[in-house]
Amino acid sequence: MIPLRDTITSKNYPVVNNAIIGINIAVFLMQLFQGQNLYNFDYLYGLVPARYSIPRISSDFTATEQIFPFISFMFLHGGFLHVLGNMWTLYIFGDNVEDHMGPFRYLIFYLACGLISGLTHLSFNFYSNFPTIGASGAIAGVMGAYFILYPNAKILTLIPIIIIPWIIEIPAFFFLIFWFLLQILNAAGSSGQAGGIAWWAHIGGFIFGMIWIKMSSFVPETGLTGITRHLTGKKKSHRLQVIRPVSTGNDGYLYGILQITPYEAAMGTQKIVSISHGFKKKFYKVVVPAGVSEGSILRLKGFSYQAENGLKGDLFLKMVIEE
């Protein structure tokens, strides 16, 4: 299953989430320039349990070199697909969690999830001399928080069936539970890092993310959080939107809702909409003209299904303007 996007639209730009993605990409590019020195680089900045459990190994490193990997390991990756998969997952789930927490709390939360995931991995692989790298433990924490915050959201998911891509909406609750169970099964059936994957780090991060979000509900927001929300407020809604239109008869006409922001209503915008009707799903490019108002109707001729008379009906989209 490959997640494409979720159906929860964040109200603020995920400045910290995007910055984390940018830092991970920059560090990965730095790794590419290491050449034959890459393993030594990963061993120095990755999390190596043996460096803390075997005295003859730990004596080769300074205190700073022993502490820093608990942060640096979560910004290193083992290859292009590794960093791509992690950053795409963070892009999908991280913006909504940051939207809920605010940027400063989210930054602390992300780093804490990465730290706990590293400690969990270390405790289950205490004498491993293999460097653990990757943001997946911290991202697992983000997914755990998303699981608590938005269980009823839908995840637009690509399921490749041979050569036919099948795109469906999966409830976030099911998607994340399925993912978490896979981590447990893999951890139980391996030494904890089979194939270079730190399964216990994923499990620790996910559980910690759930606990953090539950505990944070008792901590009031500060004025700083309100200021950052004002500064990072979005002017545009998500470009890809899922529309579930309804029909009122056999004329082939469909009726749905398109969400836009006040800025988009005034200036106009373009959206890619996924329109589902029964078992049929199609993608269309929709142009919203400038100057529309709340409740305006956008008529798209021939965008509906084929009616009994053999002609394709029209799709009517009602504009809903949300701050």
Kindly report, residue by residue over 283-308, the tens digit of the pLDDT.
778 889 888 888 888 888 776 655 55
Tell me the pairing of strands 254-260 and 315-321. parallel
- The terminus-to-terminus CA distance of the chain in angstroms comes to 33
Name which of 268, 319, 322 is nearest 296 in CA terms: 319
**Residue 216 sits in the same domain as residue 304:** no
Are the C-beta atoms of 321 and 261 separated by less than 8 Å?
Answer: yes
Quickly count helices (H) and strands (E) in the chain. 13, 10
Domain count, the chain: 2
Q: At what angle do helices 103-124 and 199-216 cross, to 10 degrees?
A: 140
The pLDDT of residue 164 is: 67
Q: Look up the CATH number of the domain holding residue 288.
A: 2.60.260.20
Two structure tokens written together for 26: 């920059």
Question: Of 207, 231, 255, at which residue does a domain stop?
Answer: 231
Q: Which range of residues forms the domain containing residue 132?
A: 2-231
Is pLDDT above 90 for 221? no
**Residue 121 sits in the same domain as residue 255:** no
Are the C-beta atoms of 299 and 316 separated by less than 8 Å?
Answer: yes
Q: At what angle do helices 136-149 and 80-101 cross, to 10 degrees?
A: 40
The pLDDT of residue 227 is: 67
User: What is d(CA 225, CA 138) in angstroms, rounded to the nearest whole number?
Assistant: 22
User: What is d(CA 20, CA 17) in angstroms, rounded to the nearest whole number?
Assistant: 5
Are the C-beta atoms of 149 and 216 separated by less than 8 Å?
Answer: no
**Residue 175 sits in the same domain as residue 226:** yes
The pLDDT of residue 45 is: 96
Which residues lie closer than 8 Å to 295 by C-beta, 6 or more apart? 318, 319
Condensed to tens digits (0 to 9), the pLDDT of residues 75-126 reads: 999 999 999 999 999 999 999 999 999 899 999 999 999 999 999 999 998 8
**Residue 159 sits in the same domain as residue 273:** no
Radius of gyration of the CA atoms of the chain, in A: 23
User: What is d(CA 8, CA 242) in angstroms, rounded to the nearest whole number?
Assistant: 11
Q: Look up the CATH number of the domain holding residue 114.
A: 1.20.1540.10
149 falls in which pLDDT band (50, 70, 90)? Answer: very high
Percent of the chain with pLDDT over 70: 86
**Residue 222 sits in the same domain as residue 246:** no
The pLDDT of residue 70 is: 96
User: What is d(CA 204, CA 210) in angstroms, rounded to the nearest whole number?
Assistant: 10
60 falls in which pLDDT band (50, 70, 90)? Answer: very high
User: What is d(CA 184, CA 11) in angstroms, rounded to the nearest whole number?
Assistant: 34
Is pLDDT above 90 for 251? no
Is pLDDT above 80 for 1? no
